Structure 1
Amino acid sequence: MKTQVEQNGIVTLTPEAAESLKDSHMLNEDLRPTTREEHHWTAYNFSSLWIGMCICIPTYTMSSGLIALGMNWWQAIVTIILGNLIVLIPVLLNSHAGAKFGIPYPVFARLWFGSKGAHIPAVARALVAAAWFGINCWYGGAAIDTLLVSMSGWEHVSGHIFIAFFAFWALNVIVAYRGPEAIRKMEFWAAPILIVLGLALLVWALVSAGGFGPMLSAPSKFSTSGQFFAIFFPSLTGVIAFWATLALNIPDFGRYAKSQKAQIVGQSIALPGTMGLFAFIGVAVTSATVVIFGQAIWDPAALMAHFPPFVILIGTFGIILAALTTNVAANVVAPARAAENLWPRKITFAGGAIITGLLSLAMQPWYLVGDIANYIFVFLGGYGALLGPIDGIAIADYWLVRQRKLSLTELYSPNGRYSYASGFNMKSIYAFAAGILISVIGLVVPGLHFLWDNAWTIGLLVSGCIYGYLMRDDASRMSDAEYAEITVQMDTSAAAEDTAGQMIKQNPENV
């Protein structure tokens, strides 16, 4: 029986198949495949999504961390752009699966880890997202605190910065509670506002300092290539890891794509372009503060304290909007979906958003950002070692093992082809463990430290290759004939589309 329809590269369930899944305990309203009507995100929607996520305080201050480690301004910016061009590859490869089959990340993970084993990559991604959620709330809370200090005796209130932090944390949870479609609408109008505010800050710096300032003319602190590369490679891994999170759960957004072209064009322009531009704004503005105020001020919240209250108000709005757009899109969707996947019939996306907020508090974000070296090498590098292997497995499974052919209905069956042994695909678990292990070896064996310095890349390649080899003859793979047996291939012409659509609606049992 035909259970799915493929049209213009987008696969959706037939009405009969969708009806048959209504009672599955592995499905709820948020985890089901998207319908044809829900594939409505354009290239602009994907661009605005990334602009909203990339324009945030961690992006602004990332370049500061690289300069503090010894790079000059252009070395820092090139490292950031290169890292984002690299991570763009898995972003597009994994987004393809979401766009074609309309499935969210936890369901996508069932393909490679099994119906129960999917909780492993889903929870791993969720923990990292919760940490980022807390970090962005901390930055946003600091901006609110600066505004209140400038306008009153707020600084005399005991624990004032934590009060501001919890207030902003609550705002994030409330917005996230409204769901992914509300996030799309917010990103749509927030993106141009954030770009204007960022460029306005750059213009102020140029005019006030009479140029870019001394930092852009400061030389690199490295005297040899060896010294530079000793910092460059772990820094590059940290930059890649910055968005290695979204490289995994990008199907959560790709599933709404109008077409593959829409998601490819929108993401390819916005991700590396926005990260490079905003990181440069961070470097240029900070360079100007050396001329204007006599010291380098990397923290935008601290920089605002030097302005009149009205400017602080506008700046606070910009920081809050930047932190909010990043948080609710990049750091809530994945853990909320992971929570739903644990108990689809009981936990909704709204409930998952609340769980994310609570988990972020347990991460104590004020400690995570306390030291820039620990932030780049330990936090970013550490979760790069965790997520790189999962990225490798996901890419190898969809592109090499399954060759972009799968059965939607069996993803929601506890006893289907993707359940493996008792719900766990041990081959993916072995590959995942191997990818992490080889990076850890680099951490503990001095002569092999380059393995840890490039943990995300090494883990991706090792786990991907091992998984591809182990799965080469797996029974869960679908042949061309099996895929054709369950899939209606629809003509792309308008007339044929109308005719086929009516046929499916009127006679679903014969499709």
Structure 2
Amino acid sequence: MTRTELPEDETQIVHPDGRVELNAPELIAGTKYANGELVPTPVNERRWTTYNYTALWMGMAHNIPSYLLASGLVALGMNWLQAFLTITLANIIVLVPMLLNSHAGTKYGIPFPVFARAFYGVRGANLPALLRAFIACGWFGIQTWIGGQAIHAIVGKLAGAGWLEASPLAGHPWTLWLSFGFFWLVQVILIMRGIDGLRRFENWAAPLVTVAFLALMIWIVIQAGGFGPIFSEESKLGWGPGFWTIFAPSLMGMIAFWATLSLNMPDFTRFSQGQKQQVRGQILGLPTTMSFIALVSIITTSGTIVVYGEAIWDPVLLATRFENPVVVIVGLIMAILATMSCNVAANVVSPSYDFSNALPRWLNFRTAGLVTAIIGVIIQPWRLITDPNVYIFAWLGFYGGVLASIAGVLIAGYWFVNRTQISLIDLYKVGGRYWYAGGWNWRAVVATLVGAVLAVGGAYGGPFPAGGLIGFLKPLYDYSWAIGLVAGFLIYLALTYAAPVRRAAVAPASVG
């Protein structure tokens, strides 16, 4: 038997369409490394269709931070065409690792942290899982703050200046903190409804959000006197060195926006009816939807330059400029729906599984989701979105490089070392195939850490030193996501072939 082959395994069933499930699920039920959320999804419970995945991406992509990506590029000096091409290219690129990692979720019915056990070890999988989880917590906080701002603006239109200009608390009106807390609570209630409640919410919320963003664009185009004045806005960067200096880190930041989902899409594809459904749904949902929201954002933000003489890159602030209170309220309600639709899908599902993986006997989907919501506040998200330079270059660029090294390990391990073959029962075993040394595969850990250092060790600008954290790595930081992905991929392959796993040395397997 070679390292990439598996012995005949009577514990799992391979269906004609290639999907795999456990033959005897009770073998891992109630064990140390399993709970109701982490066990493989039975084939008869995998019901998500192409539409479900398309709607999921519509709901996740049609949100205010997505809007801020494009409007932020305009605010940094790009014209509409430069910003649109940057975002469209980024989403085509990130779709590739996303689909590669999605395959395992559909084939084996397992979430991301369990998938990672095959390469990091049953215990070692907590490293990539918790890195992914804490970034999701940060995003949950950012989205919740934005939703709170929208609620604050809505009530302000009804209650007047007394609400909007209330006494400050920690630099913001106390009424804004109240709105933030209320929106946080509403989302926690949705989290408590579980994954099926989330799927139903996405199915009807996504189309409404699309209509809202279109309405916002149409209004600003009318105010600007048509598309002509908007598309005639010249780039402040030109097409020379000024543009290319901004383009590379901007492209990495745009890719990093969904670098999180490129890891944990198995959390969703584990429910797919088949590979075709999830692949088609994601191709229809991600690049098309992100290009659409980018174009809407670019036109709207460019229109604000014509109408107001400045680039208003925040749609919540733009909505407050409207004179008709009914229009303001309807627009902001749609913004709230957009924010909630993205937040609970992109930033709660993954950390819920990730935290549950760390403490499977103590945390399930709902309680881990509550942990996510609490950490999302502790991170102080209001500090992350005050400046497009910090938002795009520091926040997105840095974590994108770190997560890319994990994606490189997963792709190398699943497609090139294991050749898409995984023993399901060993993912939950003490001393099994994926136990490695004490539950950790040092090869994956080294590949991740070295890849991350190469990708973000030279971080500069914003909160980082102008000369970079590690000076000689500074030139690599503008390409952080690409560097992390390639480095993680190559280092894991090299270490695996140079120091093969000695299966005979593994202790006798037992279900822990």
- Equivalent in 463, 468, 474 of residue 500 of structure 2: 474
Greater Cα shift, 333-342 or 41-50: 333-342
Deviation of the 1:299 alpha carbon: 1.7
- Whole-angstrom distance in 2 between the partners of 1:196 and 1:31: 37
Partner of residue 432, structure 2: 416
- Equivalent in 304, 309, 322 of residue 325 of structure 2: 309
Deviation of the 1:476 alpha carbon: 7.7
CA contact (8 A) 1:55 1:326 kept: yes
- Equivalent in 339, 342, 354 of residue 355 of structure 2: 339
Deviation of the 1:426 alpha carbon: 0.4
Partner of residue 156, structure 2: 149
- Asked if 1:381 corresponds to 2:390, the answer is no
Partner of residue 454, structure 1: 479
- Asked if 1:254 corresponds to 2:269, the answer is yes
SS at match of 2:318: helix
Deviation of the 1:186 alpha carbon: 0.7
CA contact (8 A) 1:100 1:255 kept: yes
The change in CA–CA distance for 1:190 and 1:149 in structure 2 (over 3 A counts) is: same
SS at match of 2:439: coil
Partner of residue 136, structure 2: 129
**Between the two proteins, what is the percent identity of the paired residues?**
44
SS at match of 2:227: coil
Deviation of the 1:207 alpha carbon: 2.8
TM-score w.r.t. the length of structure 1 is: 0.90
- Equivalent in 351, 355, 358 of residue 371 of structure 2: 355
Partner of residue 114, structure 1: 121
Partner of residue 170, structure 1: 185
- Whole-angstrom distance in 1 between the partners of 2:221 and 2:76: 25
Deviation of the 1:447 alpha carbon: 6.2
What letter matches 1:456 in structure 2?
Answer: W
CA contact (8 A) 2:83 2:298 kept: no
Greater Cα shift, 428-437 or 323-332: 428-437
CA contact (8 A) 1:234 1:453 kept: yes
- Asked if 1:200 corresponds to 2:215, the answer is yes
SS at match of 2:430: coil
- Equivalent in 269, 279, 282 of residue 284 of structure 2: 269
- Whole-angstrom distance in 2 between the partners of 1:202 and 1:439: 37
Unmatched segments (≥5 aa) in structure 2: 1-8, 168-173, 460-467, 505-512
What letter matches 1:168 in structure 2?
Answer: F
- Whole-angstrom distance in 2 between the partners of 1:296 and 1:467: 45
SS at match of 2:133: helix
Partner of residue 493, structure 1: none
- Equivalent in 47, 50, 54 of residue 54 of structure 2: 47
- Asked if 1:82 corresponds to 2:108, the answer is no
- Whole-angstrom distance in 1 between the partners of 2:453 and 2:153: 44
SS at match of 1:37: helix
CA contact (8 A) 1:83 1:237 kept: yes
- Asked if 1:13 corresponds to 2:22, the answer is yes
SS at match of 2:44: coil
Alignment of 1:51-70 (within 5 A): 51-70=58-77
Partner of residue 503, structure 1: none
- Whole-angstrom distance in 2 between the partners of 1:463 and 1:447: 19
What letter matches 1:280 in structure 2?
Answer: L
The change in CA–CA distance for 1:68 and 1:291 in structure 2 (over 3 A counts) is: closer
CA contact (8 A) 1:99 1:256 kept: yes
SS at match of 2:117: helix
Residue-by-residue CA offset, 1:11-44 (whole Å, 9 max, x unaligned): 1111xx2121123111111101011112111111
Partner of residue 482, structure 1: none
Deviation of the 1:295 alpha carbon: 3.9
Residue-by-residue CA offset, 1:137-163 (whole Å, 9 max, x unaligned): 111111111111111132243311111
Task: Give the paired residue count.
Answer: 476
CA contact (8 A) 2:68 2:314 kept: yes
Greater Cα shift, 222-231 or 263-272: 222-231
CA contact (8 A) 2:348 2:372 kept: yes
Higher helix share: 1
Partner of residue 281, structure 1: 296
- Whole-angstrom distance in 2 between the partners of 1:116 and 1:281: 44
- Asked if 1:364 corresponds to 2:373, the answer is no
- Whole-angstrom distance in 2 between the partners of 1:215 and 1:142: 27
Greater Cα shift, 197-206 or 32-41: 197-206
CA contact (8 A) 1:418 1:476 kept: no
Deviation of the 1:257 alpha carbon: 0.8
The change in CA–CA distance for 1:382 and 1:78 in structure 2 (over 3 A counts) is: same
SS at match of 2:43: coil
- Whole-angstrom distance in 2 between the partners of 1:246 and 1:477: 32
The change in CA–CA distance for 1:288 and 1:67 in structure 2 (over 3 A counts) is: closer
Q: CA RMSD in A?
A: 1.8
Partner of residue 484, structure 1: none
SS at match of 1:5: strand
SS at match of 1:471: helix
Residue-by-residue CA offset, 1:338-381 (whole Å, 9 max, x unaligned): 11111112211111011001101111011000111011111001
Residue-by-residue CA offset, 1:161-218 (whole Å, 9 max, x unaligned): 1111111111112212221111111111111111122222222223333212644312
Residue-by-residue CA offset, 1:386-440 (whole Å, 9 max, x unaligned): 1010000011111001001011011011221101100110011111111012224
- Whole-angstrom distance in 2 between the partners of 1:440 and 1:415: 35
- Asked if 1:465 corresponds to 2:497, the answer is no
What letter matches 2:97 in structure 1?
Answer: P
- Equivalent in 172, 177, 180 of residue 195 of structure 2: 180
Partner of residue 494, structure 1: none
CA contact (8 A) 1:213 1:288 kept: no
CA contact (8 A) 1:205 1:212 kept: no
- Asked if 1:425 corresponds to 2:433, the answer is no
- Whole-angstrom distance in 1 between the partners of 2:256 and 2:351: 17
Deviation of the 1:296 alpha carbon: 3.2
- Equivalent in 100, 107, 117 of residue 100 of structure 1: 107
CA contact (8 A) 1:133 1:331 kept: yes
CA contact (8 A) 2:74 2:302 kept: no
SS at match of 1:281: helix
- Whole-angstrom distance in 2 between the partners of 1:469 and 1:297: 48
- Whole-angstrom distance in 2 between the partners of 1:89 and 1:119: 24
- Whole-angstrom distance in 1 between the partners of 2:65 and 2:308: 23
What letter matches 1:320 in structure 2?
Answer: I
- Whole-angstrom distance in 2 between the partners of 1:322 and 1:223: 33
Alignment of 1:205-224 (within 5 A): 205-212=220-227, 214-223=229-238
Deviation of the 1:302 alpha carbon: 1.5
The change in CA–CA distance for 1:91 and 1:197 in structure 2 (over 3 A counts) is: same
